[in-house]
């Protein structure tokens, strides 16, 4: 497998986590036009994305359904 394909698969598997993190960020701010960004290299952000991805996969919420 090439690096590009591996990166695509990793991002596809993390997609439910990224969507969950974006929803939490959008719902937790009062000013949607200029929200305060997370610190660079935030382990809290990484943990939230992985947690949301695991929950999304466990609950069956996945962007690509197997045929």
Which tens digits make up the pLDDT trace of 28-52?
766 666 666 777 878 888 888 899 8
**∠ at Cα 21 (18, 25), nearest 5°?**
140
Q: Is the pLDDT of residue 67 over 60?
A: no
- Rounded to whole angstroms, the Cα distance separating 64 from 38 reads 29
Residue 28 pLDDT: 73
Cβ neighbours of residue 57 under 8 Å, at least 6 residues apart? 13, 16
Maximum separation of any 2 CA atoms in the chain, in Å: 44
Given a contact cutoff of 8 angstroms between Cβ atoms, the answer to whether 52 and 16 are in contact is: yes
The whole-number pLDDT of residue 59 equals: 80
Alpha helices for the chain (secondary structure H): 3-28, 43-59
């Amino acid at each position: 497998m090439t690096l590009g394909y591996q990166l695509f698969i990793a991002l596809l598997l993390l997609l439910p986590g990224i969507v969950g993190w974006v929803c939490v960020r959008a719902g937790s701010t009062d000013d949607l036009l200029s929200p305060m960004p997370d610190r660079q290299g935030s382990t809290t952000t990484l943990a939230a994305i992985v947690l949301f991805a695991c929950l999304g996969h466990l609950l069956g919420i996945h962007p690509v359904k197997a045929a």
